[in-house]
Amino acid sequence: MPVPHLSNVQNGPLLELERRILEAQPQIEHWFRSQWCAHATPFYGSVDLRNSGFKLAPVDMNMFPGGFNNLNTDMTPLAVQAAMSAVDKVCPEAKSVLLIPENHTRNTYYLQNVAALVRIFELAGLKVRLGTLNPEITEATELTAANGAPVRLEPVERRGNRLVLADGFNPCMVLLNNDLSGGIPPLLQNIEQNLMPPLHAGWAVRRKSHHFQAYDEVAQDFAQLISIDPWLINPLFASAGGLDFQSRQGEQMLADTVSDLLTRIRVKYREQGIEHDPFVIVKADAGTYGMGVMSVKSPEEVIGLNRKARNKMSVVKEGLAVSEVIVQEGVYTFETVEEAVAEPVVYMMDRYVIGGFYRVHTGRGVDENLNAPGMHFVPLSFETACLPDRQGNPDCPQNRFYSYGVIARLALLAGARELEATDPDYE
Amino acid sequence: MPVPHLSNVQNGPLLELERRILEAQPQIEHWFRSQWCAHATPFYGSVDLRNSGFKLAPVDMNMFPGGFNNLNTDMTPLAVQAAMSAVDKVCPEAKSVLLIPENHTRNTYYLQNVAALVRIFELAGLKVRLGTLNPEITEATELTAANGAPVRLEPVERRGNRLVLADGFNPCMVLLNNDLSGGIPPLLQNIEQNLMPPLHAGWAVRRKSHHFQAYDEVAQDFAQLISIDPWLINPLFASAGGLDFQSRQGEQMLADTVSDLLTRIRVKYREQGIEHDPFVIVKADAGTYGMGVMSVKSPEEVIGLNRKARNKMSVVKEGLAVSEVIVQEGVYTFETVEEAVAEPVVYMMDRYVIGGFYRVHTGRGVDENLNAPGMHFVPLSFETACLPDRQGNPDCPQNRFYSYGVIARLALLAGARELEATDPDYE
């Protein structure tokens, strides 16, 4: 796969950023090593990046990544090795794992992701079975993923403080691939097995604003390390709470927040000689799956939303009501594949980058959210690992993937700090 | 690459072994995990395997592997990830590493191996420089590997208890790719930096018989785990000491040892219905590089050796005199590539299998040592990682490589136990 084409000509600062990242590779890797000594690595994660040619930044970090099926299978051994390392840290004695996927069993692409995850952990030498929290599934149920792979879901049961399956399968580790948007089910509370990621990584507790607050610090430290302006890798953001989209409560305050942020972005654009229109993304502070997301170029746009827009903004997955939003600097996506907009997503397991893919979407603009419900993206997996090629240009595919892997790991590190800060048991 | 063809028809037991290994994969990986909790993994290692169709066994384990240049570069990311893990364990704060290669600077293929190692550790984010112990190299010297890669060697200096280079390069880790056949140089003794592998992994201390003693135990445990006859994965052996090939001292005792071992092998062959002639390999108990190796089918062959054979047997690399030998059950090599004999070599870093290759040699027989001086082998790198393919036959390339990776890791584990047993500081 050719690396997507950067369609704008204003790619000077990004090339410079990529060049600095490449040059500083030993310092960067050393810095990551020391960071991972101080902060426990999230079990796994994926990061949505945006590359505007003048800025390369994470816009979302998923603690329960789907889409493992979109990774290049040539790189499965990397994922397996990373999975071995991740399991070793949690429970070196683990023989088996109970994987709890999302409840939406009708998305056969998601089922393909589940099958891909099962395969990785089986190759790492674990017995893997799938336990579902879906109340509609009351007995073992065979489903079929989009690629034909069989996916057998069994209802999770609780025996004392352990999760088991009906036949007594009693694993020492429970792996969540369910982001708990609907809240933390009592079934999962206070279990004695190793539960990864922890419950407070779910959207019942997690807030995007906490993540990007942690990312602010990480970006600051990293920018100092390689002597760059942190803005080049960090989208500005602000939070707004106390909202009720249906009753239009908090609307003016939201408009003011949008206005302030647009002004801050405009200042940075002027400083950097960037001639695009700033925009911001308004999204639910908790939740995922691209519901409750708006792309906004002026404060007026959030005033007097029509019913459709209000409905869209007021709930996210599993009916979670939106009263808090994050207003995030929009980062243009100028990477294109045959004129279609492409957004890179990088996958990590333990501290390792194990691959990535581009979300390629023909129907959307450079300033829109590409992870929207019903969106039909074409996944285009990274062809090579995210390792630098010292002989290549800064923007050759491998080196671009290396830069992507570095920025994604910064977001992972922010995720680690975020989990520490929100850990109910953390001292 | 197609997996080499097993030319004999007697591959029933091996297919059965491979099948058992595949079936027991979760137990095997779990067992390895628990073993690595109890025993520190060697930093890196390579294992020479022999596959006779009725037996699959390690015949040598190298603690200072050369030949990294023969691995499939598609799998470099695996090696890099494993190197990150290995470095993390030794010294997570490491910024730089001093790599000390062998002294023989004229072997441009060996230099290519050095360049490949440098690349892996650079990609893992370390500054790597090469320090040589070769007294003939008194200033920084640029050499060129067989593939044209530049290799810059600098004399190692000692400042207090640290190894440095002339310009003050003072790494926190020293990586040996020098097997210390010539003894432990005073320069390396009592240094305060992390030295990997440790000095007692060098041939000045190491004995093949210690390794295979440790391997006996490992093979026993593993055979029990998957319910097989340990002989299927373990070559019988015996030691003989007090030899002086030049003065023919100890000759009769050696012949008796050979005779005993041949008898033991014959019993096993009869038991298993194998109709080949047993043979043994007599090799120096310390040392490497295939000098001091004889293939023997009857005890008489070691009596009254001619001058050439005596010379060959009496010294190994760096003029180390041979007074102790290991007499090891010879394992036929029935794997062939276009009628040439092929011997698999598996590479590991930390606990991970990172690849392998076949030594393919046209001029040698199925019962000879393929790692002989002046030997011209063609390396044929494994095309895939050593991960199982559950849909494939037990002997499809991937599954065969998985079995190879398992047996190689058993030898690595024996290496770990061996290093513990010989560690001067071990409690």
Q: What is the mean pLDDT of residues A327-336?
A: 88
CB–CB contact B81 A82 (8 Å): yes
Question: Is the per-residue pLDDT at A317 higher than 50?
Answer: yes
Cβ density class A311-337: b for 16+ within 10 Å, e for less = ebbbbbbbebbbbbbbbbbbbbbbbbb
Residues A176 and A212 in one domain: no
Distance CA A158, CA B27 (A): 26
User: How far does B33 lie from chain A, in Å, by closest CA?
Assistant: 6
Domain that holds residue B371: 1-63+206-235+331-422
Task: Identify the residue whose tokens are 């030594």.
Answer: B359
Please say whether the beta carbons of B49 and B345 come within 8 A.
yes
Which CATH number covers residue B268?
A: 3.30.1490
- On whether residue A427 sits in a domain, the answer given is no
Which CATH number covers residue A85?
A: 3.40.50.11280
Which DSSP helix (H) or strand (E) runs through B271? helix B251-272
CA B121 from centre of chain? 20
- On whether residue A82 sits in a domain, the answer given is yes
Residue at which a domain ends, from B149, B178, B201: B201
Distance CA B162, CA B187 (A): 9
Distance CA B42, CA B338 (A): 35
CB–CB contact A78 B82 (8 Å): no
Whether B81 contacts chain A with CB within 8 A: yes
List the single residue in B with minimal CA-CA distance to A23.
Answer: B125
In order of A405, B277, B282, the CA distances from A28 in angstroms are 11, 58, 50
Q: What is the mean pLDDT of residues A150-160?
A: 97
Q: What is the mean pLDDT of residues A122-136?
A: 95
Indicate the Cα dihedral angle A208, A213, A216, A222, nearest 10°.
-90
The structure tokens listed for A241 are 């709470």
Q: What is the mean pLDDT of residues B200-210?
A: 94
Pairing of strands A127-132, A150-155: parallel
Residue at which a domain ends, from A292, A310, A329: A329
CA A238 from centre of chain? 19
Q: In chain A, what residues touch B36 (CB-CB under 8 Å)?
A: 88, 92
Distance CA B317, CA A293 (A): 69
- Tens of pLDDT, residues B379-392: 788 877 888 887 88
Residues B247 and B131 in one domain: no
The pLDDT value recorded for residue A8 is 47
The pLDDT value recorded for residue B354 is 94
- On whether residue A348 sits in a domain, the answer given is yes
Residues 349-408 of A with CB under 8 A from B: 351-352, 385, 387-388, 390
The pLDDT value recorded for residue A391 is 80
Range of lowest pLDDT (A226-240, B39-53, B78-92, B291-305): B291-305
> Could you tell me which residues come within 8 angstroms of residue A190 by beta carbon, excluding any fewer than 6 positions away?
A161
**pTM of structure:** 0.90
Residues A227 and A368 in one domain: yes
Residues A342 and A402 in one domain: yes
User: How far does A401 lie from chain B, in Å, by closest CA?
Assistant: 13
- On whether residue B361 sits in a domain, the answer given is yes
Residues B218 and B153 in one domain: no
Please say whether the beta carbons of A58 and A49 come within 8 A.
yes
State which of A386-400, B262-276, B318-332 shows the largest mean pLDDT.
B262-276
CB–CB contact A95 B30 (8 Å): yes
Residues A85 and A176 in one domain: yes
> Could you tell me which residues come within 8 angstroms of residue A247 by beta carbon, excluding any fewer than 6 positions away?
none
Question: Is the per-residue pLDDT at A159 higher than 50?
Answer: yes
Cβ-based neighbour number of residue B426 at 10 Å = 9
Count contacts between A and B (CB, < 8 Å). Answer: 102
Residues A220 and A248 in one domain: no
- On whether residue B41 sits in a domain, the answer given is yes
- Tens of pLDDT, residues B31-65: 999 999 999 999 999 999 998 888 999 999 999 99
Q: Which of A85, A349, A398 to mutate to probe the B interface, most B CBs <10 Å?
A: A85
- Tens of pLDDT, residues A214-255: 999 999 999 999 999 999 999 999 999 888 888 888 999 999
> Is the backbone peptide bond immediately before B197 cis, with ω within 30 degrees of 0?
yes
Q: In chain A, what residues touch B351 (CB-CB under 8 Å)?
A: 84
Residues A259 and A378 in one domain: no
**Residue with the larger pLDDT of the pair A396 and A352:** A352
Residues A221 and A340 in one domain: yes
Whether A121 contacts chain B with CB within 8 A: no
CB–CB contact B92 A28 (8 Å): no
Residue at which a domain ends, from B276, B294, B329: B329
Distance CA B18, CA B228 (A): 11
Distance CA A413, CA A416 (A): 5
List the single residue in A with minimal CA-CA distance to B352.
Answer: A81
Whether B92 contacts chain A with CB within 8 A: yes
Q: What is the mean pLDDT of residues A182-197?
A: 94
Choose among B28, B81, B388: nearest Cβ to A78. B81
The phi-psi region of residue B242 (left if phi > 0; otherwise alpha if psi is between -120 and 50; otherwise beta) is left
Residues B309 and B386 in one domain: no
Measured over all CA atoms, what is the biggest interatomic distance in chain B, rounded to whole angstroms? 65
- On whether residue B68 sits in a domain, the answer given is no
Range of lowest pLDDT (A46-60, A149-163, A384-398): A384-398
The pLDDT value recorded for residue B8 is 47
* Average pLDDT value over all residues in chain B: 89
Distance CA A105, CA A85 (A): 30
Question: Is the per-residue pLDDT at B376 higher than 50?
Answer: yes
Please say whether the beta carbons of A29 and A414 come within 8 A.
no
Choose among A30, A84, A385: nearest Cβ to B125. A30
Whether B127 contacts chain A with CB within 8 A: yes
CB–CB contact B28 A125 (8 Å): yes
Residues A54 and A87 in one domain: no
- E strands present in B197-337: 237-240, 280-284, 293-296, 325-329, 335-337
Residues 16-55 of A with CB under 8 A from B: 25-30, 32-34, 36-37
Instruction: Give this complex's ipTM.
Output: 0.86
Cα angle for residues A190, A125, B400 (degrees, 5° grid): 175
Cβ-based neighbour number of residue B113 at 10 Å = 23
Residues B346 and B221 in one domain: yes
List the single residue in B with minimal CA-CA distance to A37.
Answer: B92
- On whether residue B427 sits in a domain, the answer given is no
Please say whether the beta carbons of B278 and B269 come within 8 A.
yes
In order of A156, B41, B122, B148, the CA distances from B108 in angstroms are 60, 30, 21, 9
Distance CA B146, CA A144 (A): 52
Question: Is the per-residue pLDDT at B10 higher than 50?
Answer: no
Query: What residues form DSSP beta bridges with B336?
Result: B5, B341
Whether A77 contacts chain B with CB within 8 A: yes
User: How far does A120 lie from chain B, in Å, by closest CA?
Assistant: 10
Long-range CB contacts for residues B168-171, cutoff 8 Å, separation at least 24: B169/B96, B169/B98, B169/B129, B171/B94, B171/B95, B171/B96, B171/B97, B171/B98, B171/B127, B171/B129
- On whether residue A382 sits in a domain, the answer given is yes
Question: Is the per-residue pLDDT at B205 higher than 70?
Answer: yes
In order of A87, A178, A384, A413, A414, the CA distances from A63 in angstroms are 16, 9, 24, 12, 11
Residues 150-189 of B with CB under 8 A from A: none
- The structural domain count of chain A equals 3
3-state SS of A92-156? CCCCEEEEEECCCCCCHHHHHHHHHHHHHHHHCCCEEEEEECCCCCCCCEEEECCCCCEEEEEEC
